[in-house]
Amino acid sequence: MQSVWLVTRRPAVAASLQLDTTDARVEMIPGLLDLLRRTGSPALIAVDDADHDLVLADAALKIQLRSADSLLVVLQEQPRGSGSRDYAGVDEVVAPESEWRPSVVRMLQELHDLTTLGWTGKSDALRQLAGQVRQAAGADIAVLVSGESGTGKELVARGLHALSGRAAGPFVAVNTGAIPETLLESELFGHEKGAFTGAPTRRSGIFESAHGGTVFLDEIGDMPPVTQIKLLRVLESGAVRRVGSTEELHVDVRVVSATHRNLLSLEESGAFRRDLYYRLSAITLRAAPLRERRGDILPLLFSFWKAGRTGTDTPGELTADAVRLLWSYAWPGNVRELRNFADASAVALGSGTLAEEHVLQYVQRERGEASNLPVPAGPHVTAGDQELLLRAVLHLGQEMHQLRELIERRLPDPAAQEPAAWRPPTATVADAERRAIESALIDTGGNRREAARKLGIGERTLYRKIRDYGLK
C-alpha cells in the first residue's frame, strides 16, 4: 500500500480528499502547527519524506523535500490561470479542488504500478508509461516499444511479461540488429544438424525456447528484409520451421519488439515491410528520453550510487548548482549515460559532494567527444577550452592526412595518365596543425612531453611533426 503524507494547516483539505485506508496510509505531518509557528507561513518547510511515496502540500505552504524519491504535489483551490504560482521542485500542481481526489487516486495507482514493476523514478512520463504497461500486459497481443537508445525499452518488455499471464513462462530476448544476417534465421527459428557448415547438432531457436512465454525482438528496424518475410510467416501461422527442416513446429509466444527508428519511414524507403509493422504494433508504447523525464534524474542517480557503492546505503550529496546543471543537460545517451556518469562520479568523489564543476567537466568532455569542438566561440576562452580546441585541430589534421593517403592510393597510376593538377586541399589544415603544435610548445615552455599530453598525442608523433614542420 502506498504511503501519503498530507502537509496542510487546514483540516478541510483532508476532508476534500476523502482518502481512507483502502486508498493509502495517510498521515498528517507531525508537529506541523508548531513548525509553522517557528518558521512562519509561507516560509520554506523542509520535509523529511524518505518513508512516503506521495507528499500532498497545501498551496499556502512552501515545501521542500529532503528526499528525491517522493512525489510532491501541490493542491490549489483555483486553476493555474487564476492566481496560481510556480513551485520549485514540485512534480505536479492539481486544481481546482474538485480534481484533488481523482488526481490523487490516479497518482497512487501510478506509484503502485512503478513499485510493482520495480522502476525508479517519479516523472509524469514514467508514471503514464507504467500505467500503459499494466493495461497492455493483460492483452495477449503484440506490442511495439519505440524510443531512443538507452531509454529502457527492454525494461518495458520485461514489465509486460511480468504482469501478464505468461509471467511463469520464459522471457527470451534477442537483438536482431546485432546478429549477422547469415545467422539470424538460425537464431530465431533454430536449425537441424548439418543444416549448414558449423551446425554439428540440432539447435532450438528463441521462438521454441520461449514457448509459453514472451519473445523480445530488440532493434527490429535493423532486421534484414529476407528475415522479415520469414518472421511475418511465423506470426501469421504460429509455427516455425528450423533451418534445414521441412517440419513445422507450433509455438505459443507473445512477441514484444522494440526500435529506436521510425518503422513507417523505413517502410516508405522499402527497408521495412508495412504488413509486418501492423503485425508487430497491435499496441504501441513509447519510452520517453531522459530529457523529457527530468523528475527521474535524481532518483535514478541516487539509485545508481547506492547500487555501486559496496558496504554503504548512503547516497551521495549534490549542491543546488549541480542539480540545476544535471536537469539542464540533454543526456543524449539517456539512462545508460546517466548510469555511466553515476559510476564515474562515485569512483572519483567517494563519499564527497557532487558540485557544479564536476558535472560541468563531464558535460564538456561528452560534448567534445560528440562534436570535436566542445566549446562555444566567444571572448572568454579558458585554459581547459584551449586544450580541447588544440586537440580537436590536431585530430582533424590526422584524419585529413589519412583521407589524403586513401584518395592517393585510389587515384590512377601517374605513369599511365596525364599529370593531375588537382591535389586534396590539405594546406589549410596543415597550417592549423602547425599553429596548434607551436601554441602547445609555447604554453608548456618547450616541454615536449607536456605538449604531447596537452595535444592528446604520443611523444613520438609530436617529435615527427616538429621535424616535418621544421619547428624548434
Whether the CB-CB separation of 262 and 120 falls below 8 Å is answered with no
Q: Quote the CA–CA distance of 465 and 458 in Å, as a whole number.
A: 11
pLDDT band (50, 70, 90) for residue 31: low
CATH topology of domain 290-371: Helicase, Ruva Protein; domain 3 (1.10.8)
Residue pLDDT, tens place only, 202-234: 889 999 999 999 999 999 999 999 999 999 999
Q: Count CA within 13 A, CB hemisphere, residue 180.
A: 2
Q: With CA atoms as reference, report the closest residue to 63 among 121, 5, 123, 125.
A: 5
pLDDT band (50, 70, 90) for residue 337: very high
CATH topology of domain 3-117: Rossmann fold (3.40.50)
Out of 3.40.630.30, 3.40.50.300, 3.40.50.880, 3.30.450.60, select the CATH number for domain 125-286: 3.40.50.300
**Cell numbers found for residue 346:** 562515485
pLDDT for 422 equals: 35
Does pLDDT of 377 surpass 70? no
Q: How many CB atoms lie within 10 A of CB 250?
A: 10
Q: Is 140 helix (H, G, I), strand (E, B) or coil?
A: coil
Among the ranges given (285-299, 357-371, 376-390), the one the predictor scored with the smallest mean pLDDT:
376-390
Residue pLDDT, tens place only, 412-467: 554 444 443 333 333 445 666 777 788 788 888 788 888 877 776 777 778 778 87
Bridge partners for 285 per DSSP: 145
pLDDT for 431 equals: 67
SS3 content of the chain, % helix, strand, coil (to 5): 50, 15, 35
Q: 25 — phi, psi (to 5°)?
A: -90, 110
pLDDT band (50, 70, 90) for residue 150: very high
Whether the CB-CB separation of 188 and 206 falls below 8 Å is answered with yes
Q: 249 — phi, psi (to 5°)?
A: -115, 125
Q: To which H or E segment does residue 62 belong?
A: strand 62-65
Helices (H), 350-447: 356-371, 383-410, 427-443
Residue pLDDT, tens place only, 267-277: 888 999 999 99
Bridge partners for 284 per DSSP: 144
pLDDT for 405 equals: 60
